């Protein structure tokens, strides 16, 4: 009888120790995830190609929880495109007067029958683009340092509003 009671106590003790270890391990993973960047909000902007088809930009502000690092992802949803050599894109370039504001390509995928190109832009570049957004009228996509796509920003006011909103979001 005492042996059964001892086994029961030992079993409970082992379960308690395992439970405490699992809490500690999950706490470690939680701390690690807090170090990673997180997105705050997505803002969509419509652009048009020379044939009048709509394509979409999605700006996402990325930052660390302590806001020591802030950058922007720009997803470019290209409709009506033949998918070939998807990894040879190099940059997205917003044209505002004689100035260009560039983002670097980092990956692509096909989703919902659209080619999705992902670009990275520094915070300072996006802020400067906002400052010059009244004259921003088009954007180019480069492949192997040659412009292959040129698009017109559909509505400048919406573009400026979207940039302002994504920059100020916390």
CA dist 14 → 3, 4, 17, 24, 169 (Å): 16, 15, 5, 15, 48
- The string of pLDDT tens digits covering residues 58-91 is 888 888 888 788 888 888 888 766 555 666 778 8
Q: Mean pLDDT over residues 101-111, rounded?
A: 88
Q: Mean pLDDT over residues 118-140, rounded?
A: 89
Domain boundaries, the chain: 1-36, 37-168
User: How long, in residues, is the chain?
Assistant: 170
| Per-residue confidence (pLDDT) for residue 103, from 0 to 100 | 92
For the cut 70, the answer to whether the pLDDT of residue 45 exceeds it is yes
Q: The pTM is what?
A: 0.70
User: Residue 11: which pLDDT band, with cuts at 50, 70 and 90?
Assistant: low
Q: Identify which has the larger pLDDT, 9 or 61.
A: 61
Q: Tell me the CATH number for domain 37-168.
A: 2.60.40
Tokens representing residue 106 in the block: 């980092």
């Amino acid at each position: 009888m005492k042996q059964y009671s001892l086994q029961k106590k030992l079993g409970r003790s082992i379960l308690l120790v395992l439970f405490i270890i699992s809490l500690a391990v999950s706490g470690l993973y939680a701390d690690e995830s807090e170090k990673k960047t997180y997105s705050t909000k997505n803002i969509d902007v419509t652009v048009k190609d020379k044939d009048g088809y709509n394509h979409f930009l999605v700006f996402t502000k990325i930052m660390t929880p302590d806001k020591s690092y802030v950058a922007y992802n720009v997803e470019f949803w290209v409709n009506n495109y033949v998918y070939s050599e998807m990894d040879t894109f190099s940059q997205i370039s917003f044209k505002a007067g004689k100035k260009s504001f560039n983002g670097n390509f980092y990956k692509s995928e096909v989703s919902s029958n659209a080619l999705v190109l992902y670009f990275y832009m520094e915070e300072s570049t996006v802020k400067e683009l906002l400052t010059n957004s009244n004259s921003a009228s088009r954007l180019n996509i480069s492949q192997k340092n040659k412009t292959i796509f040129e698009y017109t920003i559909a509505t400048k006011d919406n573009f400026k509003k979207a940039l302002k909103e994504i920059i100020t979001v916390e």
